[in-house]
């Protein structure tokens, strides 16, 4: 049974660079979510997809952030012109499609912007 | 306003002690779900339990038990006979009928179990 996977697990970049993270959900799950977690805090919702459609975006997702799920399977989260404040753990989760579902999380991508 | 409050930032216990992690939530919806997740040092959030607002029965799973009280808007988590492997950060989360897909997490409680 394969869980949610995320790549890379760690990313160090310089301010101003672009970064892209990938998330592969549990295979039978239609919904995919992105969260951001800063040190000492709980995860904060960023966005979610139902299949390939992005149905909600948080105000936390500035214009520099874009997420895609082109074929309704894996998803990518891109951050353009990274800032030091973008340093965080980026978590991906997936769930089934029957009403209120439990979200299952991946191991996260830890981003450090220097 | 914070929808989920975990007032205990960090708790330290000695192995075999019982420990209770508190969670207080706030919502206007009558239908909602509450969750607990465990986050070990590796970083992955591990699902522990889900409870809907219409089911106030307490639940026990091995050494874990959960006490849901709507009257006090609390969903507390007790670990009996704690073990070193229980050391982790524990998060309580809420999803509401208005949007089940958006989880609201508390700030977490770091549990240190010492041998």
Buried b (16+ CB within 10 A) or exposed e, A5-19: ebeeeebebeeeeeb
Alpha-carbon distance B49 to nearest alpha carbon in chain A (angstroms)? 9
The C-alpha atoms of residue A31 and residue A96 are separated, in whole angstroms, by 6
Summarize the confidence of residues A8-24 as an average pLDDT: 98
pLDDT of A99 > 80? The answer is no
The C-alpha atoms of residue A51 and residue A68 are separated, in whole angstroms, by 10
The C-alpha atoms of residue B89 and residue A40 are separated, in whole angstroms, by 9
Alpha-carbon distance A8 to nearest alpha carbon in chain B (angstroms)? 13
Q: What is the pLDDT of residue B2?
A: 79
% of chain A exceeding 90 in pLDDT: 84
Contact residues of A toward B, CB < 8 A: 31, 33, 35, 40-45, 48, 55-56, 89, 91, 93, 95, 99-108, 110
Cβ contacts (< 8 Å) between B52 and chain A: which residues? 100
Q: pLDDT band at residue A61, thresholds of 50, 70 and 90? A: confident
Summarize the confidence of residues B10-17 as an average pLDDT: 97
Give tens-digit pLDDT for B66-109.
999 999 999 999 999 999 999 999 999 999 988 889 999 999 99
Buried b (16+ CB within 10 A) or exposed e, B10-35: ebebeeeeebebbbbbebeeeebbbb
Contact between chains at A102 and B106 (C-beta distance less than 8 A): no
């Amino acid at each position: 049974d394969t869980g949610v996977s995320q790549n890379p697990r760690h990313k160090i970049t310089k301010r101003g660079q672009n970064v892209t993270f990938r998330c592969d959900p549990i295979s039978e799950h239609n919904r995919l979510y992105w969260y951001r977690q800063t040190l000492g805090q709980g995860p904060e919702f960023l966005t979610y997809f139902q299949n390939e459609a992005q149905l909600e975006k948080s105000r936390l997702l500035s214009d520099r952030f874009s997420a895609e799920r082109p074929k309704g399977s894996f998803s990518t989260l891109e951050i353009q012109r990274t800032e030091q404040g973008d340093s965080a753990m980026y978590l991906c989760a997936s769930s089934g499609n029957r009403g209120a579902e439990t979200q299952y999380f991946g191991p996260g991508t830890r981003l450090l912007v220097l | 306003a914070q929808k989920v409050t975990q007032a205990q930032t960090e708790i330290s216990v000695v192995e075999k002690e019982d420990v209770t992690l508190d969670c207080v939530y706030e919502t206007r919806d009558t239908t909602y779900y509450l969750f607990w997740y465990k986050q070990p040092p590796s970083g992955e959030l591990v699902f522990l339990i889900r409870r809907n607002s219409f089911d106030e029965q307490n639940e026990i799973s091995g050494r874990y038990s959960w006490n849901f009280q709507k009257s006090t808007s609390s969903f507390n988590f007790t670990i009996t006979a704690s073990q070193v492997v229980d050391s982790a950060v524990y998060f309580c989360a809420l999803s509401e009928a208005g949007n089940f897909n958006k989880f609201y997490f508390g700030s977490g409680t770091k549990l240190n179990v010492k041998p």
